[in-house]
Amino acid sequence: MTICSRHLFSRRLLAATLLGLCTAAPLALAESDSLGWIEKGLVLPERVAVKFKLDTGALTSSMHAEDIDEFEKDGDDWVRFSVELEDVDRDEKIESTFEREVRRYIKVRGAGGAERRPVVMMKICIGDKVYDEQFSLNDRDRMNYPVLIGRRTLENIGAVVDSSKTFTTEPDCSNT
């Protein structure tokens, strides 16, 4: 083999090795860091333990909210809303009222038409980490799960959703 052909062979071997490492690493990571399609999480600051549905079909996360009242504060759009959640650990309903600045509005289309929803920042705990994420507010009383985690939040969590699993982790954000 000439020096040029050995150099070309070495470069191809290196490229193939790097490609193999790049494609193998995410698969190993995905298996160890996967979450189920339903997980238990905490809504903070009240530390209410509820079932979260991890929905890769939804872009924005959504949280159950009632009595949504929009108002203006210091020239910005704000909302006041009530959250009534069933705490699955304590088997009791927890009610809280929040005021949050509206980050943006989204338009949600469904079978009943389109509606405009406010999006606010809320803190949640999944596993052992706290996430400050955007949630659209909607009355989810008729839904099985009061909190829906969408792709934007899933991207920040950095885990793969395994649709064959549920409840793979317990929320433990006790040091926050």
Question: Letter for the amino acid at 60?
Answer: T
Q: What is the dihedral of CA 88, 51, 102, 174, to 10 degrees?
A: 60
| The pair of three-digit structure tokens given for residue 57, joined into one six-digit string | 């079909």
133-152 in b/e form (b: 16+ CB < 10 A) is bbbbbbebeeeebbbbbbbe
C-alpha span between 124 and 40 (Å, rounded): 11
The domain segmentation of the chain, as residue ranges, is: 1-32, 34-166
pLDDT score of 3: 53
| CATH 2.40.70.10 for domain 34-166 | yes
Of the candidates 99, 94, 134, 95, the residue with the CA atom closest to the CA atom of residue 117: 134
pLDDT at 149 over 50: yes
What is the helix, strand, coil percentage profile of the chain, to 5?
20, 50, 25
pLDDT at 59 over 60: yes
Question: What is the pLDDT confidence band of residue 4, given thresholds at 50, 70 and 90?
Answer: very low
Question: What is the pLDDT confidence band of residue 81, given thresholds at 50, 70 and 90?
Answer: very high
C-alpha span between 104 and 142 (Å, rounded): 25
Other beta carbons less than 10 A from residue 55's beta carbon: 18
pLDDT score of 95: 87
Model confidence over 123-148: pLDDT tens digits? 999 999 999 999 999 988 888 898 99
Question: What is the pLDDT confidence band of residue 10, given thresholds at 50, 70 and 90?
Answer: very low
pLDDT at 23 over 80: no
- Return the percentage of the chain with pLDDT > 70, whole number: 81
User: What are the φ and ψ backbone dihedral angles of 47, each rounded to 5 degrees?
Assistant: 60, 40
Mean pLDDT score, 71-92? 90
pLDDT at 105 over 50: yes
In three-state secondary structure terms, 68 is strand
pLDDT at 161 over 70: yes
Question: Could you tell me the CA-to-CA distances from 31 to 25, 50, 51, 152, 161 in Å, in that order?
Answer: 10, 24, 22, 20, 10
